[in-house]
Amino acid sequence: VQLQASGGGLVRAGGSLRLSCAASGPISRINVMGWYRQVPGKERELVALITTDDKKKYADSVKGRFTIARDNAKNTIPLEITDLKAEDAAIYYCYQGFACSHFDCAVQYWGQGTLVTVSS
């Protein structure tokens, strides 16, 4: 399925944001879905992943501040962000993975991203 991220914007440090990843079709059978982010000039990094049975994985830098969910009825993957920090500024990309062993997937796709900017 195609993925489209939305919800990015300019937020003050310490603020909150809700990103959404909308899929063009059913997501119930997509093994792993989630979010990555990338700062220009740096490698894309994992933010949060969620499996079909709701197991979750977070980057250490976002634990306790970010919450991922999976809404199979709406075919969306929301990401709740609180206590935003300057280092959270990046382009956030939706992710879908297939042929997975736990969170490691042999087939991976990323959708279009949404920009999150953090002001001090």
Task: Place 8 in a pLDDT band, splitting at 50, 70 and 90.
Answer: very high
Q: Can you name the residues that pair with 114 across neighbouring β-strands? A: 92
> Is there a contact between 118 and 13 (Cβ–Cβ < 8 Å)?
yes
What is the C-alpha to C-alpha distance for residues 120 and 84, in angstroms, rounded to an integer?
10
Task: Place 2 in a pLDDT band, splitting at 50, 70 and 90.
Answer: very high
Which carries the bigger pLDDT value, residue 74 or residue 120?
74
3-state secondary structure of 87: helix
Q: What is the pLDDT, as a whole number, of residue 86?
A: 97
- Per-residue pLDDT tens digits for 55-103: 999 999 999 999 999 999 999 999 999 999 999 999 999 999 999 999 9
